[in-house]
Amino acid sequence: MSIALKATDLSKTFEIGKRLIGPPRGLVRAVHPTTFEVQAGETLGIVGESGCGKSTLARMLVGLEPPTGGSIEIEGKALDNADPAAFGRLIQYVFQDPVSSLNPRKTIREILEIPLKLLHGMDRKARAARIAEIFEAVNLRPEFLTRYPHEFSGGQAQRIGIARALAANARILILDEPVSALDVSVQAQVLNLLADLKREFGLTYLFISHDLAVVESVSDRIAVLYFGAVVEQGPAEKVFAMPRHPYTKLLADSAPRVGQPLGGVQSGELPDPLNPPPGCAFAGRCPKATDLCRKERPELRVIEGDQLAACHHPL
Amino acid sequence: MGAFLKLLFRNRLAGFGAVVLGAIIVLALITPWLPLHPPNATVTANRFLLPGTPGHLLGTDHLGRDQLSRLLWGTRLSLAVGFAAAVIAGVVGAAIGIIAGYFGGRTDNVTMRGVDMLMAFPYILLALAIVAALGPGLMNALIAVAVVNIPFFARNIRGITVGIANKEFIDAARLSGMGHTRILLTEVLPNVIPVIVIAMSTTIGWMILETAGLSFLGLGSQPPQADLGSMLGEARSAMITAPHTSIVPGVMILLIVMSINLLGDGVRDALDPRLRSGALTRPLPATQVARKSVPEVPAKPGLLEIDALETQFHVGKRVYRAVGGVSLELKPGECLGLIGESGSGKSVTALSVMGLVASPPGVITGGAVRLEGRDLVGAKYERLRSLRGDKVAYIFQDPLSTLHPLYRVGDQLAEAILSHHGIGRAAAMERAVKLLEDVRIPNAKARARSFPHELSGGMRQRVAIAMALANEPDIIIADEPTTALDVTVQAQILALLDRLRRERDVAILFITHDFGVVGQLCDRVAVMYAGRIVEQGPTREVLEAPAHPYTKRLIACVPELGEGRRVLAAIPGLPPAVDALPEGCAFAPRCEKATDACRAGEIALESHGGRKLRCIHPEPAPVEESA
Amino acid sequence: MGAYILKRLLSAIPVLFGITVIVFLIMAMIPGDPATAILGSYATPENVERLNRHLGLDRPLWQQYFIWIGNLLQGDFGRSFALNRPVLDEILDRFGATLILAGTAFVLCALLGILAGVVSAARQYGLADKAITFVVILGISIPSFFLGMMMILLFAVQLRWLPASGMYSIWGGGDLPDLLRHLVMPAFALSVVATGVIARLSRSAMLEVLRQDFIRTARAKGVHERRVIWGHALRMAMVSIIPVLGIQAGFVLSGAVYIEMVFQWPGVGRMLVDAILKRDILLVQGGVVFVAACYVGFNIIVDVAQAWLDPRIKT
């Protein structure tokens, strides 16, 4: 297997309260230096709560956000300039809000033609053929092509968003909460469509979500993000079934499940991003935290076999 | 375009404005070919002739010049200058605004500082300074008025552009290989143009007024050439002896500006999509009621009975049947889950109880909601108000938007108490702090002085729960209270709600779309689809052995943690639109078991022991057992 | 709060600086020899020469600017050649009259405008709403100077209720009732347009706010409708009304120029128009800078009021 996507020490720091001249008022580390690989044909799930930096990470991977540090390699080639057009052919993005990701004043055909024209320089006939092919693949009727985005339901709009990503002919897709704006009955349709497309076109997915069950049901491997850093990584079937990091355990216990008593009474919330704690970011909420945790940041390391965790006292 | 014109002329005032303005513009355009006296021909003998004098329909001015001729020529000039100024200001201002808004960062910062600088002048000072520098004259007045208005356009358009530039479709365009110029021209501009048109059409009248004003002061058009403003200015000295010379041009300015303003308002309303759906109407204090009949009151009243409730939304000619005959009963101290997808009518059912459905467009068209036997639908406002928050309290979804952002949370809590119990402010505040402690907010006394934005999402929802508890209600209606929260926070909030309801014996109607939450919290559950209840029963029984095909398939298509990778059993198709419900069972088009009988006629909600079901082909087995 | 006021005061310094630059640059656009413009075309060459040297007009533009601003800071606004007295003295003499007129009109338009807007929104589509909307459209469409003239015709000439012009009666008078009698018409004529604008804005701001979730919350907890409208909704609507009050104050100040002409009110506006017609450049320059600076000061008050109302601003 080859490596489709590799991030090395990728990090992002935002400047808060920029001024016309002089230094900013504060710095927020949205993503701490993060290293990971995605094998070709694999689905890596990234899970985390709001504010954990998962969207910033995704936007860096497609060049929409220039990283503060680190490097990105796609199919063996390093991409260090943040030019979305250069990324566009190799890696594409499916947005969370399907409706706001489509220009309300363009027809679906116009939207789908742009990547074909600009990224691949196809002529009119080739474009029409390719669009028909893609539309077929995402199960949409050809007469939709002349309509405008507001005429579609969320699920249909998300199929169009996926069609646009496919049109660029990239083999890696970043799926940023692709189903969280959809109703459950439609959510399953889109998840199944994504699985079919992956098989058909040999795609590689980076699947970002806050919904543990959804991530578990689609991923090969899962990385858990907390406060801008990966705290645990491992095979999908083990991460929540046998969590190594106390935060992963808290997540798994908190997910509402039929037949299980209400859990996660543990209190506490995210630390202040403008004033981060020196040690482990989870120490304040962790039942096992010691002085070491509060002083020193744990690095991500192998706990057992293919399970990694960033914890001084793994479970 | 056709739709736009139709919308425009549906507004009668805008139509009136368009007709008047059209007539004035036509007159101004054909003025050179009309049989008029030369506008500047002075005949001193004919000074101050009154309107109606033969040969001078509107009389003459202090130099004996024909007023009608001068009026039409002046109108021509005023219109031309006003439009020109509006176009210049609109185009330049919009260009600045779009560039600053799209590129953001330093470009934005520097440009907008410059714009702020220009806006720091009362506009006329800037105009006067420009005229002072360039010298009086109509052209210079035009330049002054245009320049003065550029900052208004720039700022307005920048705000809109920033909103568009942050939309995801701009990111998508970049990933599709588009450069900045192409994005500006094909993605941003088409979305900004309606705003530019609105801004121009609503300010053009103002610009005509401003140029007329400068001419009135003698700084615009110079004699003998005259626009409406300078006609008025020249007439001022004879205002008392010959008022008609002032009234004629003054009324003309009024007519022009008023017709432009009426038309401009019409254009704005027609282009603003929010107004199309009638969304910008003010919700009344209580939902409107239009019932044909009232259900009979049962002999033994329960705590809360929702009886055949029908709530609709009337938008234009369309009728959305959001709730189509829902009956529910809530017993003291129990927790009833109401589950459904978006658009199923679960929230509308909940809001109908206390008349909180936004109205217009919401109308309760049938059924009853009885609190301890007394109907709340159609109750007098004062009775409804006295029960809201006192007997029946609500918790809503997003605590950031449901708490008032400008009041301290302690004050909001105290207000909830004081609205029902005149115990005095100090006592109410004391109780507010106690409530915050009850919902486990650390350092409650200090927190009571916080504003909502200073709290985290979880803390805000705790405040909302404290507020619902403030008057020790019998019933709490919780409308997706944890949907906007992270999963770890959701667990905390659910645990808190569960503890409080057991401690205080409050009945809860819990609205959600999450089976997991229902399974952990609720005693009974009702499943809604397309405005009706399709299944109802004890939570465990319904979840373990769903009888309605919809319930069964909905449960099956939600992945559950711990089941690993799998293919989900999706339900094909979409829920029906509630303004075009199919005959018979609303789920039939998506149901693989549907027969012709399902698609014809009403299917009743039938009781089977403790469970209720609206289906003629129920899922096998367990239903019969329990019956 | 104190820190915010201080911050706001400091931020006014670059604005004031910018204002002087803009005014200076506009005045530098005057074609031909400035000294001739100041002295008029009948001036002797020696006088022109002397004035040029005196004003430093023979130096480069930026040096001229700093000489001018240095003088301004010492209270030396130059001398009006037409009136033959220091510019600052003339401005100070007249500014009080403008302040009385514009201040009264501003208070009037703020109170009436907000009141009309709230009533209009609360009774949307009712009789009161329709009546207010009609009057408002009329109000924003009528030129204030024309309205003023018509008021003089009706109330001063026909009915003889009020004096037609000036600030005080020439014989007797000079007391407060006399001032008020003179003030009624011009203040009302001046306030009409701004009242209309504020009423429209207040109405739409109220309608916007009344649809918000927190209004539903207030109703759900049993707050009386009167308090919902005049408390919860109006307070929130004020957040968008207050900045417009700041802008409208500028419009009232601007409109005062016309009204002062119509009613012979001895204020700064009339002074400026006269000065322009007489090409009394230094008086124009000084008057513009002075009034603009006062307006900047007023806007600081507006911003502070806004920050006091909306706690989200300071953080």
- Every domain of chain A and the residues it spans: 3-219
- B153 domain residue, yes or no: yes
Q: Which residues of C touch B358 (CB under 8 A)?
A: 211, 216
Inter-chain contacts counted by CB atoms under 8 A, chains A and B: 203
Both tokens of A4, joined, read 């489709």
Average per-residue pLDDT in chain B?
89
Among B217, B246, B276, the domain-final residue is: B276
Identify which of B264, B236, B156 has the alpha carbon closest to the alpha carbon of residue C141: B264
Average per-residue pLDDT in chain A?
88
Provide the pairing of β-strand A229-235 with A307-309: antiparallel
Q: What is the pLDDT of residue B626?
A: 43
Q: Which of B342, B498, B559 sits opposite A217 (nearest CB)?
A: B559
Q: B625 pLDDT band (50/70/90 cuts)?
A: very low
**Residue A305, amino acid:** G
- Is the domain of B578 the same as that of B519? yes
- B419 domain residue, yes or no: no
Higher pLDDT, A275 or C315: A275
Q: B573 pLDDT band (50/70/90 cuts)?
A: confident
| C121–B136 C-beta distance less than 8 A | no
- B328 domain residue, yes or no: yes
Q: What is the pLDDT of residue C34?
A: 62
**Predicted confidence (pLDDT) at residue C35 exceeds the cutoff of 80:** no
pLDDT tens-place string over residues C241-273: 999 999 999 999 999 999 999 999 999 999 998
Q: What is the pLDDT of residue A266?
A: 60
**Residue A37 burial class via C-beta count within 10 angstroms: exposed 0-12, middle 13-18, buried 19 and up:** middle
| C216–B246 C-beta distance less than 8 A | no
**Nearest Cα residue in chain B from A15:** B105
H-helix segments, B353-456: 381-387, 399-402, 409-418, 425-438, 444-447
Confirm or reject contact between B109 and chain A (CB < 8 A).
yes
State the Cα torsion B253-B256-B262-B266 to the nearest 10°. Answer: -150
pLDDT tens-place string over residues B61-87: 888 888 899 999 999 999 999 999 999
Q: What is the pLDDT of residue B614?
A: 93
| A168–B440 C-beta distance less than 8 A | no
Among B253, B276, B299, the domain-final residue is: B276
- Is the domain of B362 the same as that of B500? yes
Q: Which of B232, B281, B390 sits opposite C222 (nearest CB)?
A: B390
Give, for A77, the enclosing helix (H) or strand (E).
Answer: strand A77-79
- Distance separating the N- and C-terminal Cα atoms of chain C: 11
Q: A203 pLDDT band (50/70/90 cuts)?
A: very high
pLDDT tens-place string over residues C152-171: 999 988 888 988 888 887 77
**Predicted confidence (pLDDT) at residue C66 exceeds the cutoff of 90:** no
Identify which of B250, B165, B260 has the alpha carbon closest to the alpha carbon of residue B206: B260
Sign of CA dihedral B429, B430, B432, B436: positive
- Is the domain of B16 the same as that of B145? yes
**Predicted confidence (pLDDT) at residue B510 exceeds the cutoff of 70:** yes
Domain that holds residue B113: 2-39+53-276
- Is the domain of B534 the same as that of B600? yes
- Is the domain of B271 the same as that of B323? no
- B330 domain residue, yes or no: yes
User: How far is it, in rounded angstroms, from Cα B209 to Cα C258?
Assistant: 12
pLDDT tens-place string over residues A24-68: 777 888 999 999 999 999 999 999 988 888 989 999 988 888 899
Higher pLDDT, B322 or B560: B322
**Predicted confidence (pLDDT) at residue A264 exceeds the cutoff of 60:** no
- Is the domain of B238 the same as that of B299? no
| A183–B342 C-beta distance less than 8 A | yes
Identify which of B340, B372, B366, B380 has the alpha carbon closest to the alpha carbon of residue B532: B340
Average pLDDT value for residue range C51-63: 74
Both tokens of B559, joined, read 């992945």
Q: C119 pLDDT band (50/70/90 cuts)?
A: very high
Provide the pairing of β-strand B532-538 with B611-613: antiparallel
- Is the domain of B601 the same as that of B504? yes
User: How far is it, in rounded angstroms, from Cα B395 to Cα B466?
Assistant: 9
Higher pLDDT, A84 or B73: B73
Give, for C119, the enclosing helix (H) or strand (E).
Answer: helix C87-122
Count Cβ neighbours within 10 Å for each residue of B336-370 and write b for 16 or more, e otherwise. Answer: bbbbbbbbbbbbbbbbbbbbbbbbbbbbbbbbbbb
| Peptide bond just before B620 cis, omega within 30 deg | no
Count of structural domains within chain B? 2
**Nearest Cα residue in chain C from B417:** C221
Three-state secondary structure call for residue A36: strand
- Is the domain of B96 the same as that of B136? yes
Three-state secondary structure call for residue B335: strand
User: How far is it, in rounded angstroms, from Cα B188 to Cα B181?
Assistant: 10
Task: Name chain B's partners: 3 or more CB pairs within 8 A.
Answer: A, C
Q: B50 pLDDT band (50/70/90 cuts)?
A: confident
Do residues B493 and B481 touch, judged by C-beta distance below 8 A? yes
| C216–B396 C-beta distance less than 8 A | yes
Q: B274 pLDDT band (50/70/90 cuts)?
A: low
**Residue C8, min C-alpha distance to chain B (Å):** 14
User: How far is it, in rounded angstroms, from Cα B175 to Cα B586?
Assistant: 41
Confirm or reject contact between C309 and chain B (CB < 8 A).
yes
Three-state secondary structure call for residue C22: helix
**Residue A220, min C-alpha distance to chain B (Å):** 8
Give, for B124, the enclosing helix (H) or strand (E).
Answer: helix B123-134
For domain A3-219, the CATH class is alpha beta
User: How far is it, in rounded angstroms, from Cα B337 to Cα B518?
Assistant: 6
Q: What is the pLDDT of residue B148?
A: 92
Q: What is the pLDDT of residue B277?
A: 45
**Residue B576, min C-alpha distance to chain A (Å):** 11
- Is the domain of B223 the same as that of B370? no
Other beta carbons less than 10 A from residue A278's beta carbon: 10
3-state helix, strand, coil split of chain B in percent (to 5) is 50, 15, 35
pLDDT tens-place string over residues C80-98: 878 888 999 999 999 999 9
Q: Which residues of B touch C23 (CB under 8 A)?
A: 129
State the Cα torsion C198-C201-C207-C208 to the nearest 10°. Answer: -140
**Residue C95, min C-alpha distance to chain B (Å):** 14
- Is the domain of B481 the same as that of B577? yes
- Is the domain of B248 the same as that of B295? no
Other beta carbons less than 10 A from residue A57's beta carbon: 29
- Is the domain of B229 the same as that of B291? no
Other beta carbons less than 10 A from residue C251's beta carbon: 21
Among B252, B276, B300, the domain-final residue is: B276
Length of chain C counted residue by residue: 315
Identify which of B5, B24, B10 has the alpha carbon closest to the alpha carbon of residue B258: B24
Report the CATH number that the domain containing residue B501 is assigned in CATH: 3.40.50.300
Length of chain B counted residue by residue: 627
Do residues B366 and B325 touch, judged by C-beta distance below 8 A? yes
- B505 domain residue, yes or no: yes
Q: B442 pLDDT band (50/70/90 cuts)?
A: confident
User: How far is it, in rounded angstroms, from Cα B340 to Cα B349?
Assistant: 12
Three-state secondary structure call for residue B162: helix
pLDDT over 70 percentage in chain B: 97
User: How far is it, in rounded angstroms, from Cα A29 to Cα A11?
Assistant: 8
For residue B254, CA distances in Å to B36, B194, B260, B607 come to 23, 27, 10, 71
**Predicted confidence (pLDDT) at residue B9 exceeds the cutoff of 80:** no
